[in-house]
Structure 1
Amino acid sequence: MKKEEMKITELYDLTHTLASDYLKQFTYPWEALAGLSDFIIELGNSLDPAEYEKRGENIWVHKTAKVFDSAYLHGPVIVGKDAEVRHCAFIRGSALIGEGAVVGNSTELKNVILFDKVQVPHYNYVGDSILGYKSHMGAGSITSNVKSDKLLVEIHAEDGKVETGRKKIGAMLGDNVEVGCGSILNPGSIIGRGTNIYPLSSVRGGVDANSIYKKQGEVAKKEDR
Structure 2
Amino acid sequence: MYTIKDLYDLDHTLAKDYLSQFTYPWEALAGIKEMIVKLGESLPKEEYNEVKPHVWVHKTATVFDSAYLGDPCIIGPRTEVRQCAFIRGAALVGADCVVGNSTELKNVILFDHVQTPHYNYVGDSILGYYSHTGAGAITSNVKSDKKLVVVKNGDEKIETGLKKMGAMLGDYVEVGCNSVLNPGTVIGRHSNVYPTSCVRGVIPENSIFKNNGTVVTKK
Residue matched to 1:156: 152
Match of 2:99 among 103, 111, 115: 103
Q: What is the deviation of 1:158? A: 3.2
Give the whole-Å Cα distance in 2 for the aligned partners of 1:24 and 1:119: 23
Q: Which amino acid in structure 2 is aligned with residue 172 of structure 1?
A: M
Which runs of structure 2 are paired with 1:36-185 in the superposition (5 Å)?
36-158=32-154, 160-185=156-181
How many residue pairs were aligned? 219
- Provide the C-alpha distance between the structure 2 equivalents of 1:28 and 1:216, rounded to a whole number of angstroms: 28
1:186 and 2:179 correspond: no
AA aligned to 1:164 is: T
Greater Cα offset, 211-220 or 118-127? 211-220
- Structure 2-normalised TM-score? 0.99
Q: Please say which of residues 181-190 and 214-223 is displaced more in the overlay.
A: 214-223
Separation in structure 2 between the aligned mates of residue 153 and residue 135 of structure 1, nearest angstrom: 23
Task: Structure 2: give runs of 5+ residues left out of the alignment.
Answer: none
Q: C-alpha separation between the residues in 1 aligned to 2:124 and 2:55?
A: 19
Structure 1 counterpart of 2:10, one-letter code: L
What letter corresponds to residue 24 of structure 1 in structure 2? Answer: S
Give the Cα–Cα distance (whole angstroms) in 1 for the partners of residues 9 and 121 of structure 2.
Answer: 24
Distance 1:143 1:159 in 2: 23
Paired with 1:17 and 1:93, the residues of 2 have a C-alpha distance of 18
What is the RMSD of the two structures over their aligned residues, measured on CA atoms? 0.8
Alpha-carbon distance, 1:191 to partner: 0.3
Tell me the CA shift for residue 57 of structure 1.
1.4
Question: Deviation string for 1:63-97 (max 9, x for gaps)?
Answer: 00000010000110000011110000000000000
Cα offset for 1:217?
4.2
* Alignment partners' CA distance in 2, 1:57 and 1:188: 32
CA contact (8 A) 2:118 2:134 kept: yes
One-letter identity of the residue aligned with 1:93: G
Partner secondary structure for residue 168 of structure 2: strand
Which runs of 5 or more structure 1 residues have no equivalent in the other structure?
A: none
- The reply on whether 1:204 has 2:204 as its aligned counterpart is no
Q: In the alignment, is the contact (CA less than 8 A) between 2:199 and 2:213 conserved in 1?
A: no
Which amino acid is the alignment partner of residue 180 of structure 1?
G
Q: Deviations over 1:22-55 (max 9, x none)?
A: 0000000000000110000000000000000001
Contact preservation (8 Å) 1:96, 1:112: yes
- What is the DSSP-based 3-state SS (H/G/I as helix, E as strand, rest coil) of the residue aligned with 1:99? coil
Distance 1:184 1:218 in 2: 15
TM-score normalised per structure 1: 0.96
Structure 2 counterpart of 1:131, one-letter code? L
- Deviant stretches of 4+, over 4 Å: none
- Whichever residue aligns with residue 207 of structure 1, its letter is I
Provide the C-alpha distance between the structure 2 equivalents of 1:158 and 1:126, rounded to a whole number of angstroms.
25
